[in-house]
Amino acid sequence: MDIGKTVNQTFSWLNLKSLKIILVWIVFSLVSFGLLFSLGLNFITELFALMTPQSISNPQLIIQVIINAAVQIFALILALGIISMLLSAYTISHALKSLGSKTSNFSIMKVIRIIAAILLIFLGLGIAFLIGIILVLILGALGLSAMLLAIVITIILIFASIALLYILVRLTVFEQVVIDSEAGVIESLKTSWDLTNGKFWQIVANALVAGIITLIAFFVISTIVQIATQPMISSALSPIIDEKVAQITPLLESLPKNPSLATGTYPGYIKTQVINGINGYFANSLVSFFSILCSAFLSASIYLQLKSEAPKKTKA
């Protein structure tokens, strides 16, 4: 595997050929942000309406509001997650085709296979985790001292972390195998395992170099966007936040004061933190396509290089 080639292909999506999928991710990210923000605002409105010195003594109403909001947010995140899985699979197909694959194609059935493979991986990891807990309980029942038990647990955690990293690297291209072939769930995992045989450190090195460059670039772009969008977000949110904070100002002023904050500065402090947080989330959502496409093209590059270097019998 060639690190230079991997890095170059990781950023090869920066052309007009990927413009459509970039716009799709931007629209999806903005719609997701808008829906989550709207739902969060409704939750805050309902919650703040109950945050009075009188009603705070009756936590049942507050708990009910929190439960209802949690159910709605979970349902929305689940729906957005499913759409994100579809878009991710389509992006993988786009990356493979852009890098020269002639057999890559997107379908709902392949997305189902990817989800099934992910669930299978999590099931295996869950079973291994359960076995680890049982082992620790057995060692505890044997009467080991607290110090010795802590040492054993630390050793187990270290080896478990190494094993987890190794397994994830060996299975890192199973999604690409599914999109690039007609492989089923088990076959895709087996093919990924075969393709990555003897390539562990090469994969880690390629992914690490390209990943660090991507992370630095994303941080710079995100920071620039945050600075650019700060006035707009502040102007749009200030009236809303002022209204919401005013509802609970009496309650806030009755709380013990933070020594680092002057008396009466809670509303302004909360407003600043909320605006900065929302602006950061908005900016990251707006440029999330950058890391998503880099990740898709990085994985596609690694997969295609592994495929080209593999014996005929292990090709997908």
Per-block mean pLDDT, blocks of 10 residues, the chain (316 long): 89 85 91 87 73 62 78 89 92 92 89 92 90 82 77 86 91 93 91 92 93 92 90 83 67 56 56 83 88 93 90 54
Position 27 scores a pLDDT of 93
pTM for the predicted model, two decimal places: 0.81
Position 266 scores a pLDDT of 54
Q: Among 161, 136, 138, 162, which residue's Cα sits nearest to residue 150?
A: 136
Question: Would you say 196 and 299 are in contact if contact means Cβ atoms under 8 Å apart?
Answer: no
Q: How far apart are CA 87 and CA 79, in angstroms?
A: 13
Q: Among 250, 188, 197, which residue's Cα sits nearest to residue 55?
A: 250
Tell me the angle at which helices 266-286 and 288-309 cross, rounded to the nearest 10 degrees.
Answer: 40
Question: Would you say 117 and 110 are in contact if contact means Cβ atoms under 8 Å apart?
Answer: no
Phi, psi of 176 (to 5 degrees): -65, -35
Instruction: Give one DSSP letter per residue of the chain, joined into a string.
Output: --HHHHHHHHTTT-SGGGHHHHHHHHHHHHHHHHHHHHHHHHHHHHHHHH-STTGGG-HHHHHHHHHHHHHHHHHHHHHHHHHHHHHHHHHHHHHHHHTT-SS----HHHHHHHHHHHHHHHHHHHHHHHHHHHHHHHHHHTT--HHHHHHHHHHHHHHHHHHHHHHHHHTTTHHHHHHHS---HHHHHHHHHHHTTT-HHHHHHHHHHHHHHHHHHHHHHHHHHHHHHHHHHHHHHHHHHHHHHHHHHHHHHHSPPPTTS-TT-HHHHHHHHHHHHHHHHHHHHHTHHHHHHHHHHHHHHHHHHHHHHS-GGG--
Question: Would you say 149 and 139 are in contact if contact means Cβ atoms under 8 Å apart?
Answer: yes
Position 6 scores a pLDDT of 92
